Structure 1
Amino acid sequence: MGILILPSTAAEIQVKDPLSLQLKIQQAHSYDTLVLHPAVFQGQFIIDKPLIIIGKPGAEIDALGYGSAITIASSDVKLRSLKIVNWGADQYELNAAILINDGINNVLIENNELWGPSFGIRADNGDFLSIKNNVITGSSQGHILDRGDGIYLKRVDNAVIQFNEIKHVRDGIYLESGKYSLVSDNYFVNQQYGLHYMYTAHDEAFNNYAEDVDGGFALMSSEKIKLHHNRVQSAQRFGVLLNMTNHSEVSANRVNKIVNSHAKVAGSEGRGMFIYGARDNAVFDNNFSNSEVGIYMAMGGEGNKIYRNQFINNQAQVKYVGDSLVEWSYERQGNYWSRFIGWDLTGNGISEQAYQPSDQLDRLYWLYPEAQFLLKSPVAQLLRWTQHQFKIMPESGVIDSFPMMSPPQVDRL
């Protein structure tokens, strides 16, 4: 984002009368600063020129339950330290606390507090949008999919979204058809997905934390994303989703306790990571722990590099019901499996014994869940023991030819 150089004639305008805000905006010159004093400014306001608007403690904008509280219709606008409440709930009309019109560039939204339904911040067809240090709170009432997103950007390039706290919304951050975004140090709680990419490219996300969500980080129909050093805790459906996403890196993320308390049928378990139809990605140095399934892979997810990950105390470390034999190691580096017992005769930290995290009996039970009650029967235990004794190379499933004897060291930011 370019540096905004203010002209020497820019003025600072004090706004004390709550009925005068729109008039003050109209009367201001480009690049003036409007300072809102403690008061409730009611209505919907349009910024149609480059301005800086700053709120003092106690300044509040109340949209009275309809429309967008602030519409930005000019590039080079900055909004700081505002409290915005009670905007409209009509998502089809793009009601938002802050609505940024088509084709607007160089906008900074910083240190604001947004409370209301529908979108917190909505922008389309822009460039160089910066959203930092905001608290965005939606509605905890009604179905989660009927809420607006905390931050919704469509065809916005070079967005920077950092240090925001977002809760009680549909998706915390939803990015569609843009590129070169940077998303870091955000906190997501009580929503569908924390961060949701759709048709995006060349994005990076790190140091974000999602908890008590349906899903942590969803990468869908996108490419060349770097998702690293994020955390997901206590999600229902997944920690990380790779759906039809290619040429991306998922690394050094920590995913813990993905348990679907609402699951009623086999196949709806909580998944540390779900890979569906995604190829040519690298998944490494992640920690998947204490979940119903460590990684669930299906429908064309075989063509990825998966190595140096830690699978710790998941009910099923891996679930894959495809017909291929899939190797989960890269350059003689496999993964660490908490249930694996092998041997390392050379002392290089890699077992000479390959590991298959899920055997043929597991796959049989996935295909025919009604046979689950046989899982711990003596016959099943005998078949499993026989299979391991003869060490027959599996014809399908996941195999790690170079399992690690101890968890790998992962660099932290």
Structure 2
Amino acid sequence: MKSSWIIFFNIIFFQTIVANTIQVGSNYPVKSIKKAISMAKAGDTIIVNKGTYREGTIVIDKKIVFLGKNLPILDGQSKNEVVSVKADSVVVKGFKLINSGHAALEDPCGIKVYNKTFVRIYNNVLDNNFFGIYLQNCNNCIVKGNKIIAYGKEEQLIGNGIHCWKSDNLQIIANTISGHRDGIYFEFVTNSVIWRNISTKNIRYGLHFMFSNDDSYITNIFKNNGAGVAVMFSKKVKMYNNYFEENWGDSAYGLLLKEIADSYIFNNKFVKNTSGIYMEGTTRIKVEKNEFVSNGWGMKIQASCMDNEIVNNNYLKNTFDISTNGSLVLNTFNSNYWDKYEGYDLDKNGVGDVPYHPLSLFAVLTETNASTMLLYRSFMITLLDKSEKVLPSITPDNFIDKTPLMKSLPL
């Protein structure tokens, strides 16, 4: 045991002795980043001092720590990819990367990592790049604390803020992203975590999943995007403690779920979205302890959904709490709070004695004929809704919460 510790400390001491620090800047002998990289050996640190560097694409093909001091600017001059990482275990920290090229086929980026592992990208500012940070076929990488800004007007003319493709075990933490096509994009990404990010004012989605399984996104803010989050063709996705706000538009949602299964939506807040959650082709999704406040529709659950459980949620001040496009109901609603519930609780156990039908007649009519919204809040519609609740004829009988709560849950 003693000999193994001696070997360990000898290795650490040896690495300390052989690793060098190379300073780059106008006041240092080395003035070029590319020259510093050519001089460096694996394990070295390159410190780039404050200034503006226009050196074309900077390729990091050695295991180095690449540090910016006082936020030096790396300018792609609207022609080049700014930084290309082509080695394992690289650290990129503390830079401002601006003005990458724009090209539909090559996807130039502020920072792109090619087929590598254990890369760390920390505390950078990426401004006016086609793609911000792009991880291609990467494993065990961390993207943390970056500020990513673009100014896209059309989704065909701008890339994604953080784009991850065919990767495993990624951590996307505490980044702020705005102005891109999608704030964060996952395609064929597994066993990864998206945590404490703020994704706002992106053209399409704040976060977009495609064919990505066993991932989690936790404690993020998705505000004022074309739509908040889309999870498509995926399974076993955990969605906890997120905030979806003001994602408005004809086809906008706080959360769009399409062809996903075996996932869990817990303790999220949906405020002022066109639809809080839109579900199509979903199976075995549990929606628990979420809050739906002041949305156009709290939830839209299409007839193609089955075996989903909606339990212990609050529905407050939504125009419609629930809507669907068919009469077949294969999902269950239990113990939710509905602010439109007008039942009573004679035994004082906190549960309404009369079951609640959350699907209103007007919601059904609006689903089939959008122009009926012109009659919203009219006396005739109110009368029809009241009649339908007493004697259901158009809304499905089994679209029902048998144990509606009398008080909202403290979420």
TM-score > 0.5, shorter chain as reference: yes
Q: Give the CA deviation at 1:398.
A: 2.7
Contact between 2:308 and 2:331, CA under 8 Å: does it hold in 1?
no
**Counterpart of 1:403?**
404
**Counterpart of 2:24?**
15
Q: 1:65/1:47 Cα in 2 relative to 1: closer, same or farther (>3 Å)? A: same
SS of the aligned residue for 2:167 comes to coil
The 2-side partners of 1:64 and 1:375 are apart by 53
Contact between 2:230 and 2:257, CA under 8 Å: does it hold in 1?
yes
**Counterpart of 1:276?**
280
The 1-side partners of 2:217 and 2:374 are apart by 42
Q: Tell me which moved more, 393-402 or 344-353.
A: 393-402
SS of the aligned residue for 1:24 comes to helix
2:42 maps to 1:30:
yes
2:161 maps to 1:150:
yes
**Pairs within 5 Å for 1:180-195:** 180-191=191-202, 192-195=204-207
Deviations 1:218-245 (A, max 9, x none): 1111111110101011111111111111
**Pairs within 5 Å for 1:134-213:** 134-140=146-152, 142-191=153-202, 192-213=204-225
**Counterpart of 2:124?**
112
The 1-side partners of 2:366 and 2:271 are apart by 25
Q: 1:405/1:15 Cα in 2 relative to 1: closer, same or farther (>3 Å)? A: same
Q: Give the CA deviation at 1:251.
A: 0.9
The 2-side partners of 1:217 and 1:370 are apart by 27
Given residue 12 of structure 1, which amino acid in structure 2 is its aligned partner?
A: T
Given residue 53 of structure 2, which amino acid in structure 1 is its aligned partner?
A: F
The 2-side partners of 1:123 and 1:324 are apart by 43
2:95 maps to 1:88:
no
The 1-side partners of 2:299 and 2:340 are apart by 15
2:301 maps to 1:292:
no
Q: Give the CA deviation at 1:363.
A: 1.6
SS of the aligned residue for 1:351 comes to coil
Given residue 45 of structure 1, which amino acid in structure 2 is its aligned partner?
A: I
The 2-side partners of 1:335 and 1:225 are apart by 23
Q: Tell me which moved more, 19-28 or 229-238.
A: 19-28
Contact between 1:320 and 1:397, CA under 8 Å: does it hold in 2?
no
Q: Give the CA deviation at 1:359.
A: 3.4
Contact between 1:325 and 1:396, CA under 8 Å: does it hold in 2?
no
**Counterpart of 2:360?**
359
Given residue 347 of structure 2, which amino acid in structure 1 is its aligned partner?
A: T
2:302 maps to 1:301:
no
2:56 maps to 1:41:
no
The 2-side partners of 1:379 and 1:188 are apart by 42
Q: Give the CA deviation at 1:409.
A: 2.7
Q: Root-mean-square deviation (CA), in Å?
A: 2.1
**Counterpart of 2:236?**
224
**Counterpart of 2:136?**
124
Given residue 327 of structure 2, which amino acid in structure 1 is its aligned partner?
A: D
Q: Tell me which moved more, 30-39 or 317-326.
A: 317-326
Report sequence identity in percent.
Answer: 26
The 1-side partners of 2:230 and 2:174 are apart by 19
Question: Alignment partner for residue 256 of structure 2, among 223, 229, 241?
Answer: 241
**Counterpart of 1:54?**
67
Deviations 1:94-143 (A, max 9, x none): 20000111x20010000101112310011211101100000011124x31
The 2-side partners of 1:175 and 1:100 are apart by 15
Q: Tell me which moved more, 394-403 or 183-192.
A: 394-403
SS of the aligned residue for 2:399 comes to strand
Given residue 75 of structure 1, which amino acid in structure 2 is its aligned partner?
A: D
The 2-side partners of 1:152 and 1:220 are apart by 16
Given residue 360 of structure 2, which amino acid in structure 1 is its aligned partner?
A: D
Given residue 285 of structure 1, which amino acid in structure 2 is its aligned partner?
A: K
User: Which aligned segments of 4 or more residues in structure 1 are displaced greater than 3 angstroms?
Assistant: 325-328, 359-362, 368-397
Q: Give the CA deviation at 1:327.
A: 4.9
Q: 1:318/1:177 Cα in 2 relative to 1: closer, same or farther (>3 Å)? A: same
Q: Give the CA deviation at 1:160.
A: 0.4
**Counterpart of 1:337?**
338
2:77 maps to 1:64:
yes
The 2-side partners of 1:273 and 1:156 are apart by 27
SS of the aligned residue for 1:311 comes to strand
Q: 1:122/1:285 Cα in 2 relative to 1: closer, same or farther (>3 Å)? A: same
The 2-side partners of 1:275 and 1:283 are apart by 11
Q: Give the CA deviation at 1:377.
A: 6.0
Q: Give the CA deviation at 1:375.
A: 6.1
Given residue 84 of structure 1, which amino acid in structure 2 is its aligned partner?
A: L
Given residue 332 of structure 2, which amino acid in structure 1 is its aligned partner?
A: W
The 2-side partners of 1:171 and 1:179 are apart by 19
Q: 1:381/1:152 Cα in 2 relative to 1: closer, same or farther (>3 Å)? A: closer
